[in-house]
Amino acid sequence: MPLCFISIGSNINREHNINSALSALQSEFGLLKHSSIYESDSVGFAGDAFYNLVSAFHCEADACDIAHHLKNIEAEHGRVRNTEKFSSRTLDIDLLLYGQQIIQTETLSIPHQDILNYAFVLEPLVEIAPDKQHPVHKVDYAKLWSDFDKSNLQQRKIQPPPLQATP
């Protein structure tokens, strides 16, 4: 059963939406392991700061089905999709990793490119999976984080992980 990693973020009613999303995700996928919550400035637009974290769970469903469930949870939390890539969001949940698989479809790209591009994804991922390797680059996440350009880092750990069981 693949170990899946997802990123979760919100900058609209963020505390409520993150907590509600974690509850919905646990109902859908069972036991979750979470990183701490990080507060980060909005990227690419002027907006309120985000709460971000990464969660992990084991799941037998295929990656496309998981991604579909994540989009449904977003919609249930009032996520409005528009053409703007960078905008405020009630909830943003992305499937980052599906085991060590590499998946490229019209609607799904695994591993997710945000792992390498954004500190608000990589740092929480490192917290819960430092020794796991990126499926394409074959480098562990701790090394990717140590090499990441942190010169303009705009985030801070604000909360330890919620109580959890290790999947």
Domain regions of the chain by residue span: 3-159
| pLDDT on residue 46 | 73
Q: Does an H or E element contain 125, and which?
A: helix 119-128
Token pair for residue 77? 């939390």
Q: Which of 79, 114, 131, 147 is catalytic?
A: 79
Annotated active-site residue in 14, 41, 48, 92: 92
Any catalytic annotation for residue 156? no
Query: CA 65, CA 96: separation in Å to the nearest integer?
Result: 14
Task: Kindly report, residue by residue over 13-26, the tens digit of the pLDDT.
Answer: 999 999 999 999 99
Domain 3-159 in this protein, CATH class: alpha beta
Q: What is the pTM of this model?
A: 0.91
Strand (E) or helix (H) holding 92: strand 92-98
pLDDT of residue 92: 92
CA nearest to 167, candidates 56, 48, 19, 24 = 56
- Which one is catalytic: 14, 81, 94, 114? 94
